[in-house]
Amino acid sequence: MKIASCIREIYKERFELYGILKKLVDEIIRSQKNDRWHFESRLKEELSYALKLETGRYSSPDIDDFYAATIVVEDYSKIDQALDLVNNNFEILIRRPTDNVFGKQKPWEFQFTDIRLVCQLGEKWSDKAGLCSLNFEIQIKTFLQHAWSIATHDLVYKSHSPNWALERVAYQLKSMLEHAELSILEAKALGESKLLQRNHFDYRHIEECISIFHEFWDEKELPPDLKRLAENTSQFLKLYESSVSELRAALESKKAELGGNLYLNISPFNTIIEALYSKDRAKFISCLDKLESKKRSLIIPNDVGPAVDDEICKRKCIVIVKR
């Protein structure tokens, strides 16, 4: 497309200035955002800039999104954190959509509703001469919103001709993703639904293992990923053909043997291995047969009971780690 030379000159001037702004804003956001968030930014291309001026929405060559950035967060519950980041560093001139969306959207409509903030550097960056009066845009999206934008951008915005069917499909997808967002945000509440009040014996067994952990260890002695520890323990108990009640008895016996306290220098899982071994060595060795048949391994530190048992040390499934 032919672009007027005066527009090209204006674009060239803006590109250099906004390039400096982009470097600054990118650095600010990247240094402060949550590590799990995604961030990207861009400067508008010349052709896109020219087409935007032709929309008639601007009374001067200065547009709001010559430089535009996107912050992508896990879900809706993190939106306010991203808003705080922007608000603490920049001056927000315009927010779209506004907080008050009453009467703006019909129930059957699923238009573009991601948060868009028109910003300036503001007084905090008053030493950045020539940059403080430049408008720029920051969008805040969830990962699902971002995925939809990427997947459907060319269908909705870049087609050579209007296509009702393609846009219909794109917005049907948006409605489904909005439902997914709602389900993620309200997962705990949905989990209380009578429709979902079912369980599985594997989950019940894992829950019982977690109860054992809380019974014998303080919170600070347990890992943040308690579910993984419980899954590992549950899996071993099944091979060992032992119930949670038998595990409790083995731990109580080991605790009494140690004078009222369990080991503090090894993990809860290795303490369980030690307790089961001490309770019934023959059954423990039988469990190793099953472990080998499944081509699984048991990694234990060298100062745990089974690690100093010659018969057990020779087993293929046993891996001893020296401290």
The reply to whether omega before 97 is within 30° of 0 (cis) is yes
Last residue of a domain, one of 82, 117, 152: 152
- Residue range 6-39, pLDDT digits in tens: 888 999 999 999 999 999 999 999 999 999 999 9
Per-residue pLDDT at 118 exceeds 90:
yes
Per-residue pLDDT at 50 exceeds 70:
yes
Last residue of a domain, one of 137, 152, 167: 152
pTM passes above 0.75: no
Nearest to 101 by CA among 111, 91, 93, 92: 111
Q: Is residue 137 part of a domain?
A: yes
Give backbone dihedrals phi and psi of 168, rounded to 5 degrees, phi first: -60, -45
- Residue range 152-202, pLDDT digits in tens: 776 666 666 677 877 777 778 878 888 888 888 777 777 776 666 666 788
- Residue range 121-134, pLDDT digits in tens: 988 888 887 899 99
Same domain, 220 and 143: no
Q: Is residue 46 part of a domain?
A: yes
Q: What angle do the packed helices 226-240 and 244-257 form, to 10 degrees? A: 100
Which parts of the chain are beta strand (E)? 38-43, 67-73, 91-96, 115-120, 136-142, 298-301, 318-321
Question: 3-class DSSP state for residue 231?
Answer: helix
Inter-residue contact 114 to 140 (CB < 8 Å):
yes
Same domain, 148 and 212: no
Same domain, 210 and 287: yes
Per-residue pLDDT at 209 exceeds 80:
yes
Over residues 200-207, the mean pLDDT reads 87
Per-residue pLDDT at 226 exceeds 70:
yes
CATH number of the domain that residue 90 is part of = 3.30.460
Q: What pLDDT was estimated at residue 11?
A: 92
Same domain, 141 and 31: yes
Q: Which CB contacts under 8 angstroms, 24+ apart, belong to 30-35?
A: 32/85, 32/89, 33/71, 33/82, 33/85, 34/73, 34/78, 34/81
User: Residues in the chain, how many?
Assistant: 323
Residue 101 pLDDT grade (very low, low, confident, very high; cuts 50, 70, 90): low
CB atoms within 10 A of CB 152: 17
Q: Is residue 131 part of a domain?
A: yes
Joined together, the tokens standing for residue 108 give 């059957």
Q: How far apart are CA 279 and CA 249, in angstroms?
A: 9
Q: What is the DSSP letter of 302?
A: T
Q: What pLDDT was estimated at residue 269?
A: 92
Q: What pLDDT was estimated at residue 96?
A: 87
Q: Is residue 145 part of a domain?
A: yes
| pLDDT over 70, % of the chain | 90
Same domain, 78 and 217: no
Same domain, 123 and 64: yes
Q: Is residue 284 part of a domain?
A: yes
Amino acid at 210: I
| pLDDT over 90, % of the chain | 43
Nearest to 134 by CA among 16, 3, 6, 7: 16
Q: What pLDDT was estimated at residue 272?
A: 93
Amino acid at 234: S
Q: Is residue 173 part of a domain?
A: no
Inter-residue contact 132 to 120 (CB < 8 Å):
yes
Inter-residue contact 66 to 132 (CB < 8 Å):
no
Same domain, 143 and 229: no
- Residue range 62-86, pLDDT digits in tens: 899 999 999 999 988 899 999 999 9
Same domain, 145 and 46: yes
Inter-residue contact 24 to 131 (CB < 8 Å):
yes
- Residue range 227-286, pLDDT digits in tens: 999 999 999 999 888 899 999 999 999 999 888 888 878 899 999 999 999 999 999 888
- Residue 116 bridge partners (DSSP): 96, 139
Same domain, 64 and 142: yes
- CA separation, residue 248 to residues 216, 243, 253 (Å): 9, 9, 9
Same domain, 147 and 219: no
Q: How far apart are CA 66 and CA 108, in angstroms?
A: 32
Joined together, the tokens standing for residue 32 give 């402060």
Domain span holding position 27: 5-99+109-152
Q: Is residue 117 part of a domain?
A: yes
Q: Is residue 174 part of a domain?
A: no
Question: 3-class DSSP state for residue 127?
Answer: coil
Same domain, 132 and 19: yes
Q: What pLDDT was estimated at residue 64?
A: 93
Inter-residue contact 61 to 4 (CB < 8 Å):
no
Structural domains counted in the chain: 2
Nearest to 116 by CA among 64, 156, 152, 74: 64
Same domain, 131 and 12: yes
Q: What pLDDT was estimated at residue 318?
A: 86
Q: How far apart are CA 146 and CA 78, in angstroms?
A: 14
- Residue range 282-314, pLDDT digits in tens: 998 888 888 888 888 888 888 788 888 888 888
